[in-house]
Structure 1
């Protein structure tokens, strides 16, 4: 690649407001098969389309995840959710990934553990199509529907790990999100209702119907919302635990279904 072309691409990306212009330029250059394809990709990026949608993939937990246009892009902070789900699980566990988007969380758990019985769900048809591309390669199943509704009844009280990277942005603050997310990711993957916790409430309300005794529900939230998330978990009979990772600036709440003796 001509150094002058590379410099020109970096300058275009910087002018468009791309904070990591040099890193993005390297990715675009390495992915483009022809010069024409490269210029097309650069032009898409400078119009505000997320880099991952331009590339068609995102790196998550050191795994390349397919990301289709219009699908929620997995965030690096969500790797903390994966780390803790893995820590609470074992190979062969039954894992359900609600609000799965690309399916990245479930796939990363499966890769880390070697093998799990994986079920993923999303309400957005575009996300479901994308998730199937990713999840079926790990032997998992993907369902389209609202939270637990499409899951097979055989999973009642059998699920070991329930992960839900549910939307938790309050409706009124969606307008403050970066343009990449606000304009190019589905609102259903961002909007958590008036206080951002509507979907978490729905997930927690039915969690005990699906979790095995001692099973765990893990959700990502924010520092500010975490106390309310803990209250929600407690309200629905789960034993809550709050965890935070400084490096990733990630907050998760884990709810454990009590065992009979607890």
Structure 2
């Protein structure tokens, strides 16, 4: 290999690139081969140096169109100025991609935790707090809750992490029918640890859940979004056995939807608030 003349195979081996890529760069006008007296095409050391610069820019994922403007001999702007503009745009794109990636990881972790709780606690009654959450929308009706959830997620990135909470009043048991649930309203809650992944303006006037309230919680599977009293009654019985006074309220949220025994269903988490007295 003559150090002043590099054949296409020499350049491909030296630069760690394919001949097809090198030919493509030629077609894009990024580099130009010379022709020797014997008809062989070759590249000079200046071409090699140019290719090093181009490959470095490609490693920053700068597109060939932008690279072409950087190496345009007829351009009206000096390369550093053009390069700064392109780099600034690429930085914005990469930072947005990182944010999107973090949002995806956060959603995966949240869903993973929900699945683990369903696996570990279904059929049990446990004591746990309601997750610290922003109450994004405090007063929705049963049917508008899902529609409003979709509306928020179309307008703001990261709000797909909201949970829809349905509130019920527990009507005390009668000798004939036992306890029953009377639907009150629905709310959209965003866990505080998911706040960094949304562009929704979380101002100081947005209410939050009361972290001082204690809850009994249960996980269950239901063919309907409305919880079954067969799950609520054991929670009430557990509270009586443990001498835990309860509020006549129940909060229900579905963690996911899916299939169970070939039937579409909701996977619910229920929260029964404990009273101080």
- With structure 1 as the length reference, what TM-score do the two structures score? 0.26
Report the structure number with the largest CA radius of gyration. 2
Structure (1/2) with the larger strand percentage: 2
- With structure 2 as the length reference, what TM-score do the two structures score? 0.25
